[in-house]
Amino acid sequence: MANWRRQIAEVRNSAIHTGREVTSAEVNAAGVAAGALSTFMAQRILANWRKYPKPMSALLGPSSVEQHVSTQARDEVLWEMQRCNAFAREFHRCCDDWLARRATT
């Protein structure tokens, strides 16, 4: 989180509020920080998949499971993800509907 704040949020705020140009080094660092934050979030969600199966299903895909879950637990996690898939589809439909309504107002 500290890297996200320092390499993304603070750089973005500085560029937006002062009008300065972002350097290519800052852009590259932001990409690395965003990737690290995504990995961290996926690992935390998957570490608690039994407690939060619906958020796992809505926010992550099978590739995250393949990358971050042990081979022993993988089939069980993927099964639970599939079981909650209807919830994930409904969640994304609601988000899309909300964004569409927001865009027309």
- Residues of the chain with pLDDT > 70, as a percent, come to 100
Helix (H) / strand (E) element for 87: namely helix 85-104
Instruction: Write down the pTM of the prediction.
Output: 0.70
Amino acid in the structure at residue 79: W
Q: Is the pLDDT of residue 84 over 90?
A: no
- Cα separation of 13 and 19, whole Å? 9
Instruction: Report the alpha-carbon angle 82-83-88, nearest 5.
Output: 75
Residues 32-69: tens digit of each pLDDT = 999 899 899 999 999 999 999 988 988 888 889 999 99
Q: Is the pLDDT of residue 92 over 80?
A: no
- Cα separation of 90 and 59, whole Å? 12
If 0-12 CB within 10 Å is exposed, 13-18 middle and 19+ buried, where does residue 41 land? Answer: middle
Are residues 45 and 37 in contact, defined by beta-carbon separation less than 8 angstroms? no
Distance (Å) of CA 74 to CA 49, 57, 66, 105: 11, 14, 7, 44
Q: Where are the domains of the chain?
A: 1-47, 52-105
